[in-house]
Structure formats: C-alpha cells, structure tokens
Amino acid sequence: MRHFYVALLIAFAASCGKSPPPEAQRPIIGEVNVYTGRHYDSDLAIYDAFTRQTGVKVNIIEAGGDALIERLAREADASPADVFITADAGMLWRAEQRGLFRPIENADIIARAPAQFRDPQNEWVGLSKRARIIIYDKARGVPEDVRNYEDLTKPSLRGQICVRSSTNIYNQSLLSGMIAHVGVDAAAAWASGVVANFARKPEGNDTTQIEAVAAGQCRVAIVNSYYVARYFGSDDPKMRSIGEKVGTIFPNQDSTGAHINISGAGVARYAPHPEHAEALIAYLLSDEAQAAFAAGNNEFPVVDGVEPVGPVAQFGGFRADTIDMASLGAHQSEAVKIFDLAGWQ
C-alpha cells in the first residue's frame, strides 16, 4: 500500500502541473484537525495533496465512528476537532442527532454534493459511495434465483448465506433503506427469512464473508463493493486468486437499485478553524480527490461527472438506489429492533 501512497502524491502533483519534491510545498499557514473513522493510507495522500495546494496542515485523530462521536460530545466546546469524517450515513446521522455539527456555509460544497448525498440542513455531505452487493461462489455457478435482496429469503438458499453481525452499521443501514422502501413489516419478514438461511452464526467483517464464499463455506454473502474490488486489484496473487473465485450481483436492478451508502464529513460544532474545515471538505469534493477516493479505496465518486478509476471500474455501470442518505439514519432504531427480533445476532 505504501508504494500506492507515493504514486498518488506524484499523480496529484502532476495534475496540478507541479513537481512533487518537498521544497515545492507551500509554507504552512494554518492547520485543520480531523477526527476520522477512515483508516487508509490513500486518505493520508489526499490530505497531503491538500496541504501542498493550500499550506494548511492536516492533523489526524483516528478511531471508530462511535468512539469519535462520544469523544466529540465529551469534549464539547473544548474540542480541537474541525472536521468529523466517518464511513456510514447512519453514523453521520448519529453525530447530527447529538448536535455535533454546525451547518456548512460554503456554497461551492453544497453545489458539488448531490442532494441525495447531503443532509437536508447541510450539516454533512457525502465524500464517496459504495454499493452493498451480493456475492456468490463461482464454482457452484450463478444462483439462478438470486437477483434481488428479497431473493435471499428463498428456501433454495437454506443454510447457504454468510453475513456479518447485525450490530454492524452497514447492515443496519441496508435494513434502514429497506424500511424506507417497503415498510417495517416487510423489512422484518425479510430479516427473518435471511436468518433462516444462515450457513453459520454471523461473524467477522466483509472480508471474512468474501473468503468464506471463495472457500465454498457458503453459496452467497452480502458485502460492500469496495471489499471485493480490493481482491480484484490486489498485488498479492493469493488475494487475486480469492477474488477470481467470487462473482458479484448488483441487486434490484429492475426495481429500487442497489443499496448505496457513503463516507461523509461535517464541520464540528465548535471547530476552532471553520474556514480551513470547509476548505478541506471542498477539496475532498474536487475532481482530483474524488478520483483518488476511487483509486485508493475502490469507492465510487459522489460528484456527478467524475468517473471511477482502478479496480472498482471493472464493475461497470449499475442502477443505484436514489434514496436520500439521511433516511438511513432516520430508520436506524427500527432496523436494530427488527434484527433483534429476527435473531440476527
């Protein structure tokens, strides 16, 4: 990953018509403090490129989304945080509900972020997106009767589904989106039907599910698209071999479209450097940073007109759900109750 970090810096510098040596960097004129739930070298490369262009140093605190929310709440007006970045719309909603953001005032940010991917009160915006997809074991062939999320309840899949815990925010957001589309009762029936088809008790992360499918331990699984793309594009022959054993299905192409979620950012309520905070968010929505999110972590850009690059581009075009990301948080508590009643541990 480190060689890719360097490559991104060189690419950023080249895109600006500048050479990458350190002496070409602008003098440091300020700083911006970022609390982030994303843990990728490629993000560090993006922050370094921002510093090179603006002279604003980016200081990073990394932790889980919930831990950072608790820290922001505990620190209150003594917090040094300028920007909160996290990897799920539901987590952004949690932070908003705790009163941890201030409205974004930069009109360029609001214009760049499509309405679907920003808070109605402009307290946060999406930075990158991914799809939650169905994968299958290629050795057993394409499951003929699986094209939609709803198909995962079919009796033909009894004992064949692997998935991570319902405590995971990605699954909670998936079910929240389903509640928004079909209502609580239908969503509850779906969750119970999927539980009936579990191959094993939920465990691990999305990578665990991919490797279980590749090993033939289960026929299908639910994962985020960028995890699969990591295997497709890996420099490690072992990882590529795993990726070659897994097929992908972007669900609900004839109805709602594949479930979409985002990583996103908001300006902290007591940000000591609000101008720098908004400058960073604006940069993260620039064409070059949007492309870097795709190249660095196999995510899709949120800004219209920016094409995905790297392994994620192999997925091609697909129909994505157009539901507002704010809805994923609004139905979160209902989703958790449904999972508990269904026995989705």
Query: For residue 46, what pLDDT is reported?
Result: 96
Quick: pLDDT tens for 139-195: 999 998 999 999 999 999 999 999 999 999 999 999 999 999 999 999 999 999 999
CATH code given to domain 132-258+319-342: 3.40.190.10
Query: For residue 21, what pLDDT is reported?
Result: 44
CATH code given to domain 2-129+261-314: 3.40.190.10
The CA distance from 62 to 45, in Å, is: 15
**Selection from 314, 134, 308 nearest residue 240 by Cα:** 314
Average pLDDT over residues 310-337: 93
Average pLDDT over residues 18-26: 50
Is pLDDT above 80 for 19?
no
CA atoms within 13 A on the CB side of 3: 2
Q: What's the CA angle centered on 209, arms 300 and 37, to 5 degrees?
A: 50
Is pLDDT above 80 for 8?
no
The CA distance from 206 to 174, in Å, is: 14
Is pLDDT above 70 for 24?
no
Tell me the whole-structure pTM to 2 decimals: 0.89
Tell me 258's DSSP state. B
Paired residues of 262 in beta bridges: 129
Residue intervals in the chain for CATH 3.40.190.10: 2-129+261-314, 132-258+319-342
Quick: pLDDT tens for 211-270: 999 999 999 999 999 999 999 889 999 999 999 999 999 999 999 999 999 999 999 999
